[in-house]
């Protein structure tokens, strides 16, 4: 064969050699690319499973909260000193003038009327972990309350070519997120208007600081700072999700006054904001009956309870409140007792029996309290009325027209969009509704709107479109479930009404994590929360497992395990996918479910007392620990953090009676003694709750998989 020695021939040979030599490298690159895509896909699947766990548990907790909403409201109305300003001037009760600021106080000082420099100084002070004195807190809240009373239910704002409107979603006590938004976007001003779309409080540790910052800017720029109410701007919800505990911990002396004033402020927050008559901004969503014209006229501060009471019924002591329409039925609160007593007696009024009747039953206790209040309805009748109301917090005994008005407000605060057409009750959260694209189109068309911006749902990227881009969810609390679980975002919108998104991660540690580390960390946190849920339903799960084990072998198939898990927990989770994270070794595909429960690594107190229905008191504690903590916060009237054995017993009796669960006095007493760690006859609420937390985790080899 003759090989050409021409330059062209040599060049072609060199190219051929390069191609031949590069083939292995190309194959290796393709293999690496394929492996990486599979790796990222597996991480994404784990992240989505983790997200489903967090969201399912969160919504299950909200559903439980709503089911007991009126029960908690009943306790608040009847066993806390809400009537302390019944016979005194309301303004004098909340007056700050008698509170002196000591010379040693090194925090921020406010002057009123508050100025933009005051507001900016407050931001800087909270950034440096300083605390505002209670005198200034009460003064600031009082000024905010007076302003909110004159604001409409639906705020109207306009854009211009010279300024854009910034819209923030849920903050949930994440002060670092708010500070980051201000750093990136600038402080609120007449040239930089803001809309904050509710859920400022709960879950995070700096809810009060967020409120004080927002209220200060609202007072300075009432036409340029707009606050919409969220479903967590609610004093009953705050009992469970941390805000009440936060305020009482930071302001032990004046915390009760601050909370009472905030309760009134929350009821006066506007419900929605409309931008340029085209963009509707509200916290939760809409329903097929949403009527903005009706919502604009409703008395938003008249909070309705299931028993037929409105918040105005609970505020007869407020001389500035508007009179209630005589056509509406009034149901008086037990807090408006005609009996009198000293302030000390009022503050110590709790679940302990009057006249030291510590042996009386719950029914007798409540009957006596109602007799003193001049009411005849028995606790049994009340309990039946509460039970018949099921999980609907909107129903009441007011006129149907007012009930319809209140339902519209609940829908705005609690509803979520769904991909299917229609409008159905939101059984997942327990309040509001799910609405579909057809409802969105109809409501927007009816009110000549083009876009609905809402919050209320955590989104992994901080925002999400749905319903043909006619509905936009914005969520501003990054790292909501766990560090690295989600980004936060806010919207900037100009006169073209096109939303522009700015995303962020407020936690610096998050930015240093790799994708695998971030997913692993979040996954471990989600599985820990799920294991607590499993232990809380241990008896129910074992009963369900035994249905698949008729011969009592102690073994079931993994398929039956997945079916039983969903049948009992109803979380809608992909149990077959989660199986590798929750279940260790199996024998020929069969699971030893008793051994599996022992491997969940739940720490148990030494004392375990059996209930009459074969459940353990410990298991019942895990199932209802959030509800119990809520009740403890209610009856701890002096904010000491301690409750007596008798208050502990009455708490259990009240909750078990409402839940129709039989618990003996002996079992409750034994538990109280076992968790009285220093044997002083009182129970520390925080230590009590910590005694029933999950610690530890999955076997080490499974934990290694998430690192």
What is 381-436 written as a DSSP string?
HHHHHHHHTTT-TT--SS-HHHHHHHHHHHHHHH-EE-SSSSEEE-TTTSSSEEE-
Query: What's residue 4's pLDDT?
Result: 53
Query: What's residue 695's pLDDT?
Result: 35
In a domain, 353, yes or no: no
Average pLDDT over residues 460-488: 94
H helical segments located in 128-174: 134-148
The terminus-to-terminus CA distance of the chain in angstroms comes to 61
> Tokens in use for 136?
């200034």
Same domain, 183 and 249: yes
- Judge whether residue 692 has pLDDT over 60: no
Backbone angles phi, psi at 55, to 5 degrees: -70, -40
Cα–Cα dist 492/498, whole Å: 8
Active site residue 161: no
Backbone angles phi, psi at 202, to 5 degrees: 80, 155
Domain end, chosen from 570, 600, 630, is at 600
Average pLDDT over residues 225-248: 92
Same domain, 235 and 277: yes
In a domain, 522, yes or no: no
Domain end, chosen from 461, 480, 510, is at 510
Same domain, 256 and 167: yes
Query: What's residue 14's pLDDT?
Result: 57
Average pLDDT over residues 499-519: 81
List 232, 456, 560, 658, catalytic entry: 232
Same domain, 226 and 177: yes
Q: pLDDT tier at 134 (50, 70, 90 boundaries)?
A: very high
> Tokens in use for 185?
């976007």
| Enclosing H/E stretch for 645 | helix 645-659
Query: What's residue 12's pLDDT?
Result: 60
Same domain, 273 and 158: yes
In a domain, 373, yes or no: no
Number of domains the chain is built from? 3
Cα–Cα dist 433/426, whole Å: 4
Model pLDDT for residues 151-210, shown as the tens digit of each residue = 999 999 999 877 899 999 999 999 999 999 999 999 999 999 999 999 999 999 999 999
Average pLDDT over residues 423-434: 88
Model pLDDT for residues 617-629, shown as the tens digit of each residue = 666 666 666 777 7
| Enclosing H/E stretch for 127 | helix 116-127
H helical segments located in 191-234: 207-220
- Judge whether residue 244 has pLDDT over 80: yes
Cα–Cα dist 514/643, whole Å: 46
Instruction: Say which range, 103-112, 266-275, 379-388, 518-527, has the weakest mean pLDDT.
Output: 379-388
In a domain, 18, yes or no: no
In a domain, 23, yes or no: no
Same domain, 623 and 650: yes
- Judge whether residue 270 has pLDDT over 70: yes
Query: What's residue 639's pLDDT?
Result: 67
Instruction: Say which CATH number the domain at 625 has.
Output: 1.10.238.10
- Judge whether residue 138 has pLDDT over 90: yes
Q: Which residue has the higher pLDDT, 616 or 564?
A: 564
What average pLDDT does the chain have?
76
| Enclosing H/E stretch for 562 | helix 558-569
Across 244-258, 349-363, 395-409, which has the greatest mean pLDDT? 244-258
Q: For residue 430, is it left (φ>0), alpha (ψ between -120 and 50) or beta? A: left
Same domain, 502 and 463: yes
Model pLDDT for residues 317-357, shown as the tens digit of each residue = 443 444 333 333 222 222 222 333 333 333 333 333 333 33
Instruction: Say which range, 28-37, 90-99, 373-382, 524-533, has the weakest mean pLDDT.
Output: 373-382
Average pLDDT over residues 657-685: 72
Contacts by residues 233-236 (CB-CB < 8 Å, ≥ 24 positions apart): 233/198, 233/199, 233/200, 233/201, 233/266, 233/269, 234/266, 235/76, 235/259, 235/262, 235/263, 235/266, 236/69, 236/72, 236/73, 236/76
Domain end, chosen from 600, 629, 649, is at 600
Q: Which residue has the higher pLDDT, 557 or 1?
A: 557
* Residue given tokens 């910590």 in the structure block: 690
Average pLDDT over residues 96-117: 91
Q: Which residue has the higher pLDDT, 696 or 285?
A: 285
Cα–Cα dist 220/547, whole Å: 65
Query: What's residue 366's pLDDT?
Result: 41
Same domain, 164 and 290: yes
Q: Which DSSP state fits 85?
A: G
- SS3 state at 158: coil
Instruction: Say which range, 156-160, 330-334, 362-366, 490-494, has the weakest mean pLDDT.
Output: 330-334
Q: Are the beta carbons of 122 and 216 closer than 8 angstroms?
A: yes
- Judge whether residue 703 has pLDDT over 70: no
- Judge whether residue 230 has pLDDT over 90: yes
H helical segments located in 224-315: 235-241, 243-250, 255-268, 292-295
Query: What's residue 286's pLDDT?
Result: 97
Same domain, 147 and 257: yes
Query: What's residue 40's pLDDT?
Result: 79
> Tokens in use for 363?
């029914």
Of 190, 162, 193, give the one whose Cα is nearest residue 491: 193
Same domain, 233 and 296: yes
- Judge whether residue 122 has pLDDT over 90: yes
In a domain, 62, yes or no: no
Give the domain extent around 538. 528-600
Same domain, 494 and 549: no
Query: What's residue 88's pLDDT?
Result: 46
Q: Are the beta carbons of 452 and 490 closer than 8 angstroms?
A: no
Q: pLDDT tier at 282 (50, 70, 90 boundaries)?
A: very high
Same domain, 621 and 577: no
Cα–Cα dist 520/576, whole Å: 19
In a domain, 366, yes or no: no
Q: pLDDT tier at 497 (50, 70, 90 boundaries)?
A: very high
| Enclosing H/E stretch for 37 | helix 7-67
Instruction: Say which CATH number the domain at 186 has.
Output: 3.60.21.10
Cα–Cα dist 544/534, whole Å: 13
In a domain, 67, yes or no: no
Reported in sequence order, the residue ranges of 480-637 that DSSP labels E, i.e. its strands, are 488-493, 499-504, 555-557, 590-592
Sign of CA dihedral 125, 126, 131, 134: positive
For 139, other C-beta atoms within 10 Å of its C-beta total 19
């Amino acid at each position: 064969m003759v090989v050409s020695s021409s330059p062209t021939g040599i060049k072609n040979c060199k190219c051929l050699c390069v191609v031949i030599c590069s083939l292995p490298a190309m194959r290796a690159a393709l293999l690496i690319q394929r492996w990486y895509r599979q790796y990222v896909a597996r991480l994404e699947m784990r992240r989505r499973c983790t997200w489903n766990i967090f969201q399912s548990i969160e919504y299950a907790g909200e559903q439980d909260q709503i089911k007991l909403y009126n029960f908690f409201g009943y306790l608040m109305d009847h066993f806390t000193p809400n009537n302390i300003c019944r016979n005194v001037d309301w303004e004098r009760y909340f007056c700050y003038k008698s509170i002196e600021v000591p010379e040693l106080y090194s925090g921020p000082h406010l002057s009123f009327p508050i100025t933009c420099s005051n507001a900016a100084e407050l931001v800087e002070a909270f950034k440096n972990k300083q605390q505002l004195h209670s005198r200034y807190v009460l003064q600031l809240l009082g000024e905010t309350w007076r302003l909110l009373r004159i604001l409409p239910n639906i705020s109207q704002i306009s854009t211009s070519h010279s300024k854009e409107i910034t819209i923030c979603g849920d903050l949930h006590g994440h002060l670092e997120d708010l500070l980051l938004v201000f750093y990136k976007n600038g402080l609120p001003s007449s040239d930089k208007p803001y809309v904050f779309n509710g859920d400022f409080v709960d879950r995070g540790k700096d809810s009060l600081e967020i409120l004080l910052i927002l209220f200060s800017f609202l007072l300075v720029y009432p036409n340029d700072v707009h606050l919409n109410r969220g479903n967590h701007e609610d004093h009953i919800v705050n009992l469970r999700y941390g805000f009440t505990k936060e305020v009482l911990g930071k302001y032990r002396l004046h915390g009760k006054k601050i909370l009472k004033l905030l309760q009134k402020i929350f009821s006066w927050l506007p419900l929605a904001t409309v931008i340029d008559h085209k963009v509707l901004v509200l916290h939760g969503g809409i329903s097929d009956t949403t009527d903005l014209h009706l919502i604009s006229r409703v008395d938003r501060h008249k909070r309705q309870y299931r028993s037929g009471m409105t918040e105005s019924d609970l505020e007869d002591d407020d001389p500035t409140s508007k009179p209630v329409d005589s056509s509406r039925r009034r149901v008086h609160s037990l807090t408006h007792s005609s009996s009198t007593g000293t302030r000390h007696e009022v503050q110590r009024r709790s679940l302990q029996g009057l006249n030291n009747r510590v042996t009386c039953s719950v029914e007798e206790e409540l009957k006596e309290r109602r007799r003193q209040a001049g009411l005849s309805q028995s606790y049994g009748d009340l309990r039946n009325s509460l039970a018949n109301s099921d999980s609907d917090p909107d129903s009441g005994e007011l006129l149907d027209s007012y009930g319809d008005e209140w339902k519209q407000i609940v829908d705005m605060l609690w509803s979520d969009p769904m991909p299917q057409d229609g409008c159905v009750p939101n059984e997942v959260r327990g309040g509001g509704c799910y609405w579909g694209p057809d409802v969105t189109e109809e409501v927007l068309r009816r009110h000549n709107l083009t876009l609905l911006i809402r919050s209320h749902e955590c989104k992994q990227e901080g925002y999400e479109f749905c319903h043909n881009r006619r509905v936009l969810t914005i969520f501003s609390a990054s790292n909501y479930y766990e560090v690295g679980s989600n980004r936060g975002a806010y919207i900037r919108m100009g006169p073209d009404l096109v939303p522009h998104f700015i995303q962020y991660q407020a936690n610096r540690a998050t930015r240093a994590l790799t994708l695998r580390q971030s997913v692993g960390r979040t996954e471990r946190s989600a599985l820990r929360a799920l294991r607590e849920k499993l232990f809380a339903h241990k008896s129910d799960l074992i009963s369900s497992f035994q249905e698949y084990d008729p011969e009592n072998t102690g073994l079931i198939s993994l398929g039956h395990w997945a079916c039983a898990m969903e049948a009992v927990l109803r979380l809608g989770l992909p149990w077959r996918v989660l199986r590798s994270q929750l279940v260790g070794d199996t024998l020929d595909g069969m699971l030893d479910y008793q051994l599996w429960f022992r491997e969940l690594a739940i720490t148990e107190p030494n004392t375990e007392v059996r209930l009459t229905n074969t459940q353990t008191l410990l298991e019942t504690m895990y199932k209802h620990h959030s509800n119990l903590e809520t009740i403890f916060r209610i009856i701890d009237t002096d904010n000491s953090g301690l409750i007596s054995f008798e208050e502990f017993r009455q708490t259990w009796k009240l909750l078990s009676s409402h839940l129709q669960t039989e618990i003996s006095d002996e079992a409750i007493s034994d538990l109280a003694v076992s968790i009285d760690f220093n044997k002083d006859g009182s129970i520390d609420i925080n230590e009590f709750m910590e005694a029933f937390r999950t610690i530890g985790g999955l076997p080490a080899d499974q934990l290694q998989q998430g690192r």
